[in-house]
Structure 1
Amino acid sequence: MRHGTTNGARQESGVGPEAARRRSFAVISHPDAGKSTLTEALALHAHAITEAGHINGKSGRRHTVSDWMEMEQARGISITSASLQFDYRDTVINLLDTPGHADFSEDTYRVLSAVDAAVMLIDAAKGLEAQTMKLFAVCKHRGIPLITVINKWDRPGLDALALMDEITERTGLTPTPLDWPVGVAGDFRGVLDRRTGNYVQFTPSAGGAHVAPQETFEPSAAAEREGVLWTTAVEESELLAASGADYDQESFLAGVSTPVLFASAVRNFGVHALLDVLVDLAPSPGPRPSVSGEPRAVDSPFSAFVFKMQAGMDTAHRDRLAFIRVCSGLFERGMVVTSARTGRPFATKYAQQAFGRERTVIDTAYPGDVVGLVNGSDLRVGDTLYFDKAVEYPPLPTFAPEHFAVVRAKDAGKYKQFRRGVAQLEAEGVVQVLRSDLRGDQAPVLAAVGPMQFEVAEHRMAMEFNSPVRLERLEYTVAMRTTKDWVAALNAERGVEVLHREDGELLALFPNSWRIASVRRNHPGAVLEPPVAA
């Protein structure tokens, strides 16, 4: 075990400056807005990869580094979060890619608990869509500063000023564009840099697989090259300035305004500008409040929390990775830390850094970094780990499920694999698993926010655990919390069933909200609030 004196001395001398070099952020968007493509383009521009792929291509095309699961590559969507770390300038970028599909919003919520800023990606042709607004609300609730990127400007889309109005009206944020497009959507020539007044012109690369060349021109040269298009961009920029839409760092960090950039991720236009904004403007890791409300400074002894469990990344070893976000102090591989939930020690001998599916051993990490701990069978999503000075961070709440299905093994002879697989999916948070004495362990109920979670569970049970399953959908659509005093009475009600979750929560399942109202009339106090994330 590493002793506190050595660890403490190194923390005092180096943790603060190292934390200041970190930028940890996630990308949020509606499905198909180009989120995974942007993730890959950022890694490309930082020289972390040499060639970008396409996610929803025809046979023979490459896939993005972050979309490594077979189902992701087959469908061209992200259904699990991914962690990428790379250097840009003198800064360490921790980029957490999130599931693009709304059915996996609970996984996205967990990722947002592990970042200090977020990039809100908007499709230029569609504006703010439902899933984007849902995730924006989470960011607003958690006080996460937002950088807005208008993507796909190389395709026909909405008017740029109209998009600024929509951001204001629907989010309440003041958009403060850092650049402004020269040319309408579908004719993306470059941008007016509103901070310098210069013109940044883009040149497409072959298929968008490599960094797109760009050239900077002074205003007079830009006017000569682009004529009326440049004049229009300048006039619209001046209109923005007159309306108070110039960037202000204080209001950005306070969640009052959002800097805006225009880009085409698939063509690698505007990606360098986003990297520069992350380095220059996005916040570095700061003190994180514990369950008691007392902030733990970044140079305090090591602490972290588990925000994701992921198995199946290494098919040769079938191990499980617990992703932790370092909150304070210096992480050193091999140090023995304590789990706040169990009070038990945990040895960090096998610590890795993930780059999509690829992994490398990591020896040290600092606040803001993400570390993968291998085979943390005793760890759960939301667990706090600490060294020396005890701390516990607030737990990660679960979403209220809306879809329910009984799961059974197709082959009774593979019951052992069945139980192990269900327990694994439960620990990872792929689905919630509800049980009762009546149903028994052979037929637990899977509960999900969206039905695609069932498809992932079914696929993994067959492919990873060699236990194909049969799902029987239930008619329930609402889960409400209750207490043990009401279990018998609620189970006696028609169309109502009470099951328990691993965390000890008792959930009463109902077919609809009308049935809840009826039961509440018969049993005042029996039905509490839904188990919704806060």
Structure 2
Amino acid sequence: MLDKMRNIGIMAHIDAGKTTTTERILFYTGKIHKIGEIDDGQATMDWMAQEQDRGITIQSAATTTYWKNFQINIIDTPGHVDFTAEVERSLRVLDGAVAVLCAVGGVQPQTETVWHQADRYKVPRICFVNKMDRIGADFFAVLKDVHEKFGVEVMPVQIPIGASDSFEGVIDLIAMKEIHWDAATEGEKYEYAEIAQDRLALAEEWREKMLDTISSTSDEITELILEGKDVPEELIKKEIRKAVLNQNYIPFLCGSARKNIGVQPLIDAVVDFLPAPDEVLPAEAFNPKKEEKLSVPCKVEGAPLGLVFKIQYDKDAGSLCYVRMYSGKIKSGDQVFNTGKKKRERVNRILRMHSNKSEQMDSVQAGDIAVFIGLKISQTGDTLGAEGQPLLLESMQFPEPVISVSVEPKSLSESDRLKEVLEILSKEDPTFTSREDSETGQLIISGMGELHIDVLTRRMLDDFKVEARVGNPQVTYRESITTEKTQTEKYSKQLGGKDNEAELTLTVRPLERGSGNRFVSKVKTFQKSGSGGTNALPEELLEAVKRSIEGCFSSGIKVGYPCTDIEVELVSVKYNELTATPFAYEAAAAKCFDDACSAADPVLLEPVMAVDIMSPKEFVGDAMSQITQRGGLISSMDSKASTDIVHAQAPMAKMFGFSTDLRSATQGRASFTMSFSHFEIKR
């Protein structure tokens, strides 16, 4: 069964046409009966009202479809940089990916971002060059662009017949046939034909290049070529599949999803070239009891092991937890063990999702993706397994939010509802956070950019019908330290006739930018009933210290912004069994942290953004001037046929309103993308 399953993601830069491509895949595999166009707001995968209004994909919708006895689980991912968390989540659980590239734009800034994310998770991929019908489409220029930008071996298995207005089909270099699609049936009918005489020489040239690339990793094909024998189609496909799994090179296909050309061979390529769940590297897990790493093979017979990779809120069912199963089987009604939280949960129902529709399942097994209903405490990144065999899968890392707005309820009665909704939204999206300002009492929400915040506040107001006022966007700063300091704190207080005492020593030290925060301990632990000797604490008291320090990281040093790039080391403790309490150790740790950091030359850090501006050549000077006026530094430039791409870095605080100014300076012809780069000391 596993060999008949594919878990794939469709990834691309915004506007490369990946949602349209997904719609066509669903249409031709029979899952939908009418093609939804993204421009008219009917796309199946873009089911959130805002996605239909904006024509972009915000949340990765999961859907299952079938093609030639194969089950394909598809995750449609957003191409906008503000939604990188969605892309990151999807790539974490995929076995293979289809990178959709625009035949005109080639490699665009967000293509680079998702490509590098896919590299990090070692996701095998194939490429589909879309929009071959557009003016300026150039399949071969895109091949060159990918090869130069990413340093990968590219290998077309098709070449286009014509381009722009004259684009009419593709030449299949494996079968050495032309493929033409019937417009009257919306491309559902297509036929193979002999290659036209005037196109044969080009097809033979590219087939030779393809076989040359394949033979570099296949002795069998090399022998056949040297002996002058025909190379069978099935052998070519088998060898390409092997090379894709090993990521030796990347097969390229082409078409126009909007014109219904090239999609069925793309689905064939997913089945032929991308891996089954048991063909990729086994999942890496950690056994917290034995403190050892181990590989978990994808087998139905193994102990159950799954990863919660996404949570969506449903007004009737509550939390929908998207789970990728790596081992074993979980049935509806089973109890599962959340390893990280050390708690049991019951799976009330299991669903197979099709965008925002669903069908009930009795069970889900290794390799598959499904939705669990009934989980109350599980969050994105949590591992579900068997209580007797606790394993932790590597959790997901998400970037820090960089932009904030204040929200306040219009009436007191709305206050609790607002907090409840913000909790739901932050559970769904780990890059969206909310906190209460300790000085003003205002609720502050933070996200990855203006569009991200706008989408989430619109959901809060429109979907959840919360009546609230939303402030103007503000930059989210961070606090850090620049020198190392060691501090000792004694705490002693009598509460309710009981002594509460603690004494500890902390060292705080700055870490490299981008390291995040870290808590380490030199103190040994022991069970409460035993004795740990000198410089030792019961486990629950060490947990209290850790909890307190994590709270301090959130509440800041001087100004109240969250801390970053600080290591806190618990150096030593004095423990009195009669008077030591968790409360005393929490209080001592918090005071010690504040005093140590205040003496360690604290600084305010501001977010610096990576800005990529796409501009026609005649306006590139005006575009560059717009970014430098905002204190931006230009790091490099790429030049394409009619467009220049300017890569720069600029402080987030200066980038509000940049979109309007850039449009007016370039007559509306330049566009840009912006994503968080790093924090640096505020100028």
> Which digits, 9 at most, give the CA deviation of each residue in 1:30-89, with x for residues without a partner?
1111111111111111111122110112xxxx6111111100111111111100101211
Match of residue 256 from structure 2: 264
Give the C-alpha shift of residue 401 in structure 1.
Answer: 2.1
Q: How does 1:318-357 map to 2 (within 5 A)?
A: 319-357=318-356
Match of residue 473 from structure 2: 473
Match of residue 306 from structure 2: 304
> Which digits, 9 at most, give the CA deviation of each residue in 1:11-37, with x for residues without a partner?
xxxxxxx22221001011011111111
Letter in 2 for 1:23: R
SS of the aligned residue for 1:422 comes to helix
Contact 1:417–1:465, Cα closer than 8 Å, also in 2: no
Q: How does 1:176-325 map to 2 (within 5 A)?
A: 176-205=155-184, 210-218=186-194, 222-223=195-196, 227-239=197-209, 241=211, 248-286=240-278, 287-291=282-286, 292-299=292-299, 300-312=302-314, 315=315, 317=316, 319-325=318-324
Equivalent residue for 2:128, pick from 149, 173, 182: 149
| Paired residues, number | 477
Give the C-alpha shift of residue 241 in structure 1.
Answer: 4.8
CA distance in structure 2 between the aligned counterparts of 1:201 and 1:393, rounded to whole angstroms: 46
Classify 1:475/1:530 alpha carbon distance in 2 versus 1 (closer, same or farther; 3 Å): closer
Letter in 2 for 1:110: R
Equivalent residue for 1:28, pick from 3, 8, 11: 11
CA distance in structure 2 between the aligned counterparts of 1:20 and 1:256, rounded to whole angstroms: 21
Match of residue 111 from structure 2: 132
Q: Answer with 74-83 or 359-368: which moved more.
A: 359-368
Letter in 1 for 2:198: V
Classify 1:281/1:475 alpha carbon distance in 2 versus 1 (closer, same or farther; 3 Å): closer
* TM-score (normalised: structure 1): 0.82
Letter in 2 for 1:453: H
CA distance in structure 1 between the aligned counterparts of 2:378 and 2:191, rounded to whole angstroms: 50
CA distance in structure 2 between the aligned counterparts of 1:202 and 1:297, rounded to whole angstroms: 42
CA distance in structure 1 between the aligned counterparts of 2:430 and 2:517, rounded to whole angstroms: 24
Contact 1:339–1:384, Cα closer than 8 Å, also in 2: yes
Contact 1:403–1:451, Cα closer than 8 Å, also in 2: yes
Classify 1:205/1:509 alpha carbon distance in 2 versus 1 (closer, same or farther; 3 Å): farther
CA distance in structure 1 between the aligned counterparts of 2:396 and 2:679, rounded to whole angstroms: 15
CA distance in structure 1 between the aligned counterparts of 2:336 and 2:374, rounded to whole angstroms: 15
SS of the aligned residue for 1:380 comes to coil
CA distance in structure 2 between the aligned counterparts of 1:138 and 1:328, rounded to whole angstroms: 24
CA distance in structure 2 between the aligned counterparts of 1:126 and 1:478, rounded to whole angstroms: 36
Classify 1:259/1:245 alpha carbon distance in 2 versus 1 (closer, same or farther; 3 Å): farther
Contact 2:179–2:191, Cα closer than 8 Å, also in 1: yes
SS of the aligned residue for 1:150 comes to strand
> Which digits, 9 at most, give the CA deviation of each residue in 1:456-500, with x for residues without a partner?
22122223433233234223366864574986996336xx72379
Classify 1:94/1:489 alpha carbon distance in 2 versus 1 (closer, same or farther; 3 Å): closer
Equivalent residue for 1:491, pick from 553, 557, 561: 557
Equivalent residue for 1:113, pick from 77, 84, 92: 92
CA distance in structure 1 between the aligned counterparts of 2:321 and 2:418, rounded to whole angstroms: 22
CA distance in structure 2 between the aligned counterparts of 1:281 and 1:454, rounded to whole angstroms: 39
CA distance in structure 2 between the aligned counterparts of 1:130 and 1:324, rounded to whole angstroms: 30
Give the C-alpha shift of residue 196 in structure 1.
Answer: 1.7
Q: Answer with 470-479 or 355-364: which moved more.
A: 470-479
Letter in 1 for 2:318: D
Give the C-alpha shift of residue 232 in structure 1.
Answer: 3.4
Contact 1:490–1:508, Cα closer than 8 Å, also in 2: no
Match of residue 452 from structure 2: 453
CA distance in structure 2 between the aligned counterparts of 1:194 and 1:92, rounded to whole angstroms: 26
Q: Answer with 257-266 or 477-486: which moved more.
A: 477-486
Give the C-alpha shift of residue 386 in structure 1.
Answer: 0.9
CA distance in structure 2 between the aligned counterparts of 1:298 and 1:306, rounded to whole angstroms: 17
Classify 1:293/1:265 alpha carbon distance in 2 versus 1 (closer, same or farther; 3 Å): farther
Match of residue 362 from structure 1: 361
> Which digits, 9 at most, give the CA deviation of each residue in 1:108-137, with x for residues without a partner?
101111100111000101101111110000
Contact 1:330–1:367, Cα closer than 8 Å, also in 2: yes
Letter in 2 for 1:216: Y
SS of the aligned residue for 1:95 comes to strand
Classify 1:489/1:121 alpha carbon distance in 2 versus 1 (closer, same or farther; 3 Å): closer
Letter in 2 for 1:212: E
Give the C-alpha shift of residue 245 in structure 1.
Answer: 9.2
- Which protein has the bigger strand share? 2
CA distance in structure 1 between the aligned counterparts of 2:555 and 2:366, rounded to whole angstroms: 49
Letter in 2 for 1:53: G
Contact 2:436–2:442, Cα closer than 8 Å, also in 1: no
CA distance in structure 2 between the aligned counterparts of 1:478 and 1:245, rounded to whole angstroms: 53
CA distance in structure 2 between the aligned counterparts of 1:81 and 1:177, rounded to whole angstroms: 28
SS of the aligned residue for 1:467 comes to coil
CA distance in structure 2 between the aligned counterparts of 1:328 and 1:370, rounded to whole angstroms: 12
Contact 2:157–2:252, Cα closer than 8 Å, also in 1: yes
Classify 1:403/1:530 alpha carbon distance in 2 versus 1 (closer, same or farther; 3 Å): same
Match of residue 371 from structure 1: 370
> Which digits, 9 at most, give the CA deviation of each residue in 1:389-437, with x for residues without a partner?
3221011111122222233223332111011001111111164325367
Classify 1:81/1:413 alpha carbon distance in 2 versus 1 (closer, same or farther; 3 Å): same
> Which digits, 9 at most, give the CA deviation of each residue in 1:150-192, with x for residues without a partner?
0011222343222211111011111111111122344222222
Classify 1:243/1:304 alpha carbon distance in 2 versus 1 (closer, same or farther; 3 Å): closer
Classify 1:434/1:70 alpha carbon distance in 2 versus 1 (closer, same or farther; 3 Å): closer
Structure 1 gap segments, 5+ residues each: 1-17, 515-528
Q: Answer with 158-167 or 174-183: which moved more.
A: 158-167
Q: How does 1:45-84 map to 2 (within 5 A)?
A: 45-57=28-40, 63-84=42-63
Classify 1:338/1:512 alpha carbon distance in 2 versus 1 (closer, same or farther; 3 Å): closer
Contact 2:335–2:347, Cα closer than 8 Å, also in 1: yes
Contact 2:437–2:443, Cα closer than 8 Å, also in 1: no
Letter in 2 for 1:307: F
Could you say what the CA RMSD is over the residues aligned between the two structures, in angstroms?
Answer: 3.0
Q: Does 1:511 align with 2:606?
A: yes
SS of the aligned residue for 1:283 comes to coil
Contact 1:322–1:374, Cα closer than 8 Å, also in 2: yes
* TM-score (normalised: structure 2): 0.65
Instruction: State the structure with more CA Rg.
Output: 2
Letter in 1 for 2:313: A
Letter in 2 for 1:214: Y
Contact 2:181–2:260, Cα closer than 8 Å, also in 1: no
Give the C-alpha shift of residue 233 in structure 1.
Answer: 3.7
Match of residue 416 from structure 1: 416
